Chains A and B, each alone.
Chain A
């Protein structure tokens, strides 16, 4: 649970929103997309100075100790601006995983540097199947002379190209484990992604030396993914609202047949239906964040609901935004396709809607 007051939370969100408006405008996104790294180091430093990279880390390790409610709201802003870079993978997901472990040494060694933004970390959850479950983990780890050796591969690893530290889930003789790998010691193969603002990599392990992270098991794997999913739901809710707002503005200004197209019922009715999706996504993401913070009894219901409702809403709103803009949105120069790219990527990252719908029903059955 967070110690941050609602006023501090609102101020932080506003400050972050201002920073993004200044440093992460559409031109900046396009510039960063075209770079090798897919990251804006100056913006990263500014976010670190603001404490954004320290949110997930507890205060005894140099962080702020915020809860998911704060992370979710920050991700709404990040999503709205289509922020690229390692905020989600390093500051939120990797920091959360280490925080959930029982490894005092790893915490002391890694968390302060992640909080300050000096070190970038990422988590490798899945193999080539991209199934984001334990069965999908194909990397293996074997103990050998007081250390661990990794073999196999992990894929769809977010921002691995920027990471100093890789946290890799692997199958061990005793079940699922997690291992710290120095990124300098492995081969990282960048994957070309349809959303150029999202950097994915495949990592190959070949007798790679690794350090075991204590106290990370199957449950931690799921808990970390829950954090990742709720943060991502926030990104989707925020992005979905921004592309919707852009579209509604256009409906008021684009004139056809002698009047603004937003005056036509065919268009107006789509907009009203999309507004329900946007508001529902926001409500779902925030409810899931609150449930995760408070370990609420209906946590599983709400996290899975947010996971598919936000993914579906963002996909639907982004896709429909292109249709509602008409020909102009079919050009590379128009921002609508950037949102569609992110929507389609986010809808696969950490799991699929169908899977979440299934998990949602199962959680409801349990509750019924």
Chain B
């Protein structure tokens, strides 16, 4: 294929036409998903912006968008992970060449699964206060501590771990970032029962677990910076998800607000209709914002709107639940299989906190928007410059 004479769009379309059956949404040559992903990685579509010696094609952001869009059109997975794959991006940016060769292919092909070992009981919104320790002993670190709110821990092959390697410097400076194997003695996983009745999350207890020194991502003490990069990728994926979800489920949601009002005999109630309008408007406005952000990004301009998505989403979810509860009225006191509508609304009410607390509370999001988007002065932190050993997180 002569890529000089073709645009990247032509090339990716031709490649997809040769290798992917859009009708059945399967690879033409058959095989497993992992085998399909091997082909995507080999062709350079998985991470097109990366250099050619590292699975990429050295392309610009606009070309990546083109490639992602073409894959999306035919429902093929695997493209554009240079924007979305948290592990691969962190390792690519900060890891040693040995680690890159060892870890990245496993993640680009989806053979390995990760979980995020960030939060701790004493380090939620103040993530730099982590107390899980990693001590270097010869060619490996020994890890001891407790992590919490870890989703997917049972199925994870690796954990992205932030741990303290130095207690004598300020809290942001003594952290290191690791990729730790989850299936080893010294790691115990216990599910957390949530207010919804679900158990999506886990506590992870680390007691003498080990991680090879070569699995450290970035230098010792650089963990905070590496994690910020990983979090930025994650936020992008989540914000994107807020827009994406709308395409599929907003329609359901729109129908259900109107349906619930009909069922409850309140579809003609002018006050109820005002509430319904406002709830539906929040959702639509967020979708329109995300659409605008994507158009900006497709043209290579960074969009600050993207960082609003998560905060907007939590408003949407709480507002939906509030309006649904009002529409249902007294019946919302009931629950269980016989009261399906009430059970659904009660679940939504409790589950909305997943978004407004999880992944950074609404209040932390507002700080981030205020500081990074609007350029307002930073939040003052009493312990920012204290050696961690002397900070309240340790001394209580």
Q: Which residues of A line the B interface, CB within 8 A?
A: 248, 251-252, 259-260, 262-263, 265, 267-269, 271-273, 275-276, 279-280, 282-284, 286-287, 301, 305, 308-309, 354, 357-358, 360-361, 364-365, 368
A203 to chain B, nearest CB (A): 33
Cα-based distance from A283 to B278 in the complex (angstroms): 16
B-chain residues with CB within 8 Å of residue A308 when the two chains form the complex: 277, 281
B363 and A265 form a contact (CB under 8 A): yes
Interface CB pairs A-B, < 8 A, 12: A251-B376, A259-B377, A262-B377, A269-B366, A271-B369, A271-B370, A273-B311, A275-B308, A275-B369, A276-B315, A357-B277, A361-B277
A-chain residues with CB within 8 Å of residue B377 when the two chains form the complex: 252, 259-260, 262-263
Cβ of B312 under 8 Å from chain A: yes
Contacts A273-B366, A276-B311; A354 near B291 (Cβ below 8 A): no
A268 and B367 form a contact (CB under 8 A): yes
A-chain residues with CB within 8 Å of residue B376 when the two chains form the complex: 248, 251-252, 260, 262-263, 267-268, 271
B373 and A280 form a contact (CB under 8 A): no
A280 and B288 form a contact (CB under 8 A): yes
Contacts A273-B366, A283-B292; A360 near B281 (Cβ below 8 A): yes
Cα-based distance from A282 to B255 in the complex (angstroms): 26
A-chain residues with CB within 8 Å of residue B285 when the two chains form the complex: 280, 283-284, 305, 309
Cα-based distance from A272 to B363 in the complex (angstroms): 10
Chain A binder among B105-113, B127-135, B268-276:
B268-276
Cβ of B73 under 8 Å from chain A: no
Contacts A305-B285, A365-B258; A279 near B305 (Cβ below 8 A): yes
Contacts A279-B308, A364-B258; A284 near B365 (Cβ below 8 A): no
Contacts A275-B374, A279-B308, A357-B281; A364 near B288 (Cβ below 8 A): no
Cβ of B280 under 8 Å from chain A: yes
Q: Other than the known A273-B366, A284-B288, what 4 A-B pairs have Cβ atoms closer than 8 Å?
A: A262-B377, A269-B367, A283-B285, A309-B281
Interface of B is mostly: helix
User: Contacting A271 at CB < 8 Å: which of B288, B374, B379?
Assistant: B374
Contacts A251-B376, A280-B288; A361 near B369 (Cβ below 8 A): no
B277 and A272 form a contact (CB under 8 A): no
A-chain residues with CB within 8 Å of residue B291 when the two chains form the complex: 283, 287
- The contact size tier of chain B is 35 or more
Cα-based distance from A283 to B276 in the complex (angstroms): 20
A-chain residues with CB within 8 Å of residue B289 when the two chains form the complex: 276, 279-280, 283
B292 and A272 form a contact (CB under 8 A): no
Cα-based distance from A334 to B258 in the complex (angstroms): 45
Q: Which residue of A lies closest to B312 (CB)?
A: A276
A268 and B370 form a contact (CB under 8 A): yes
Cα-based distance from A309 to B376 in the complex (angstroms): 26
B170 to chain A, nearest CB (A): 20
B-chain residues with CB within 8 Å of residue A286 when the two chains form the complex: 292
A6 to chain B, nearest CB (A): 10
Cα-based distance from A115 to B291 in the complex (angstroms): 34
B-chain residues with CB within 8 Å of residue A259 when the two chains form the complex: 377, 380
B288 to chain A, nearest CB (A): 4
Cα-based distance from A147 to B274 in the complex (angstroms): 45
B277 and A358 form a contact (CB under 8 A): yes
A-chain residues with CB within 8 Å of residue B278 when the two chains form the complex: 357
B-chain residues with CB within 8 Å of residue A309 when the two chains form the complex: 281, 285
Closest 10 CB pairs of A and B: A263-B377, A268-B370, A357-B277, A262-B376, A272-B366, A283-B288, A272-B369, A280-B285, A269-B366, A361-B277
A199 to chain B, nearest CB (A): 32
* Residue-wise interface mask of B (358-396) relative to A, using a CB-CB cutoff of 8 A (1 in contact, 0 not): 000001011101110111111110000000000000000
B-chain residues with CB within 8 Å of residue A365 when the two chains form the complex: 258
Which of B291, B305, B370 has the most CB atoms of chain A within a 10 A radius of its CB?
B370
Which of B273, B285, B366 has the most CB atoms of chain A within a 10 A radius of its CB?
B285
Cα-based distance from A201 to B392 in the complex (angstroms): 67
Cβ of B151 under 8 Å from chain A: no
